[in-house]
């Protein structure tokens, strides 16, 4: 009988241990569920950081717009769809600086801006109005008007904008500067050593400029269509090489100069007239 009671007591003890362990697991699982919710706060912080970054980006974008709008303080500006050249108190100083580049044998190229929706014609009208602001024909006898397309930005229609370029270009019977390209004209059938004063003086300025950078020179020779095409190809190459020889003589490294011949294949004027053929006998110089 005592053994039986002892056995029952032992079973009750095991049963109590089982219930105690079950309650403990339930309690801990509940606590774990609470703890697992904590990462949601971290996600919230991440969202806040993202929102903050977006706000900073918007602020920076607005600042960029404000910088573009600040161009209204420049010496020369325009308004959307208007050809009027608006000048500020700084214009007189700017005008003096521009006109100081005036020299014999040079023309002033005025490049005025426009947006696509305004049209290219408006830019030319702007350039002509700037020409008048500079004194017109009383001050400038040779002027060229060009246009340049601006990339649209927010605020362009409501705030003044600038973007005018002024370029003094060499123009004589031997040299014609055209932005990033220079045309050097040759007499008929000629490819000999350069002796023309206009060409020598110009190449001297080119060589001086090249000594300040590591840019390359491309010289392309051209001819009119007089005579044999093969001979014209050789003649055009000889012209390019004669310009190269002069630049090397002035101190430019020969390895920086490339010569090409297009012969009569790329005329820029008609070969039916003497004046047209003269324009086609040329070397085009590009610095890149």
162-216 pLDDT, tens per residue?
999 999 999 998 999 987 899 999 877 676 667 788 999 999 999 999 999 999 9
User: Do both 209 and 270 map to the same domain?
Assistant: yes
Could you give the percent of the chain with pLDDT greater than 70?
A: 73
Residue 184 is classified by DSSP as E
Note the pLDDT of residue 71: 37
pTM above 0.85, yes or no: no
Is residue 121 assigned to a domain? yes
Average pLDDT over residues 148-160: 96
Domain of 225 in residue numbering reads as 175-287
Q: What domain count does the chain have? A: 2
253 pLDDT exceeds 90?
yes
Note the pLDDT of residue 80: 98
Is residue 124 assigned to a domain? yes
Is residue 47 assigned to a domain? no
Find the CATH number of the domain harbouring 217: 3.30.1330.60
18-70 pLDDT, tens per residue?
555 555 454 444 444 433 333 433 333 444 444 444 444 444 444 443 333 33
CB 162 within 8 A of CB 265: no
Is residue 64 assigned to a domain? no
Note the pLDDT of residue 1: 56
User: Do both 205 and 164 map to the same domain?
Assistant: no
User: Do both 213 and 127 map to the same domain?
Assistant: no
Compute the half-sphere exposure of residue 52: CA atoms within 13 Å on the CB side of its CA.
Answer: 6
Whole-number Cα distances in Å, 23 to 18, 19, 20, 35: 9, 6, 5, 19
**What residues contact residue 159 under an 8 Å CB cut-off, 6+ apart?**
68, 69, 71, 72
Q: What's the CA angle centered on 167, arms 164 and 171, to 5 degrees?
A: 145
Note the pLDDT of residue 22: 53
Task: Please tell me whether residue 124 adopts helix, strand or coil conformation.
Answer: helix
Report the alpha-carbon distance of residue 31 to residue 228 in Å, rounded: 99
User: Do both 98 and 143 map to the same domain?
Assistant: yes
83-134 pLDDT, tens per residue?
999 999 999 999 999 999 999 889 999 999 999 999 999 999 999 999 999 9
Structural domain ending residue among the three candidates 102, 137, 170: 170
273 pLDDT exceeds 50?
yes
User: Do both 206 and 135 map to the same domain?
Assistant: no
User: Do both 152 and 125 map to the same domain?
Assistant: yes
Is residue 54 assigned to a domain? no
Average pLDDT over residues 6-14: 64
- Helix, strand, coil percent values for the chain (each to nearest 5): 50, 20, 30
CB 93 within 8 A of CB 129: no
On average, the pLDDT of the chain sits at: 82
Task: Please tell me whether residue 226 adopts helix, strand or coil conformation.
Answer: coil
């Amino acid at each position: 009988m005592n053994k039986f009671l002892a056995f029952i007591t032992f079973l009750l003890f095991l049963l109590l241990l089982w219930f105690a362990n079950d309650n403990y697991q339930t309690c801990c699982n509940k606590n774990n569920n609470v703890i697992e919710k904590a990462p949601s706060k971290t996600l919230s912080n991440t969202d806040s950081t993202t929102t903050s970054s977006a706000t900073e980006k918007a602020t920076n974008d607005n600042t960029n717009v404000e910088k573009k709008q600040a161009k209204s303080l420049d010496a020369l500006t325009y308004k959307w769809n208007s050809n009027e050249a608006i000048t500020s108190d700084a214009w007189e100083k700017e005008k003096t600086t521009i006109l100081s580049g005036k020299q014999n044998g040079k023309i002033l190229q005025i490049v005025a801006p426009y947006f696509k929706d305004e049209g290219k014609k408006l830019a030319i009208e702007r350039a002509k109005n700037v020409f008048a602001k500079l004194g017109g024909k009383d001050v400038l006898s040779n002027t060229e008007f060009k246009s340049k397309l601006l990339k649209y930005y927010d605020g362009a229609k409501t705030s003044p904008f600038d973007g005018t370029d002024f370029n003094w270009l060499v123009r004589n019977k031997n040299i014609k500067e055209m932005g990033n390209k220079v045309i050097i004209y040759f007499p008929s059938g000629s490819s000999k050593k350069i002796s023309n004063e206009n060409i020598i003086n110009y190449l001297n300025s080119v060589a001086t400029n090249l000594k300040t950078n590591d840019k390359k020179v491309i010289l392309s020779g051209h001819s009119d269509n007089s005579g044999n095409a093969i001979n014209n190809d050789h003649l055009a190459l000889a012209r390019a090489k004669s310009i190269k020889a002069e630049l090397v003589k002035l101190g430019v490294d020969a390895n920086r100069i490339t010569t090409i011949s297009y012969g009569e294949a790329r005329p820029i004027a008609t070969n039916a007239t003497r004046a047209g053929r003269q324009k086609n006998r040329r070397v085009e110089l590009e610095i890149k």
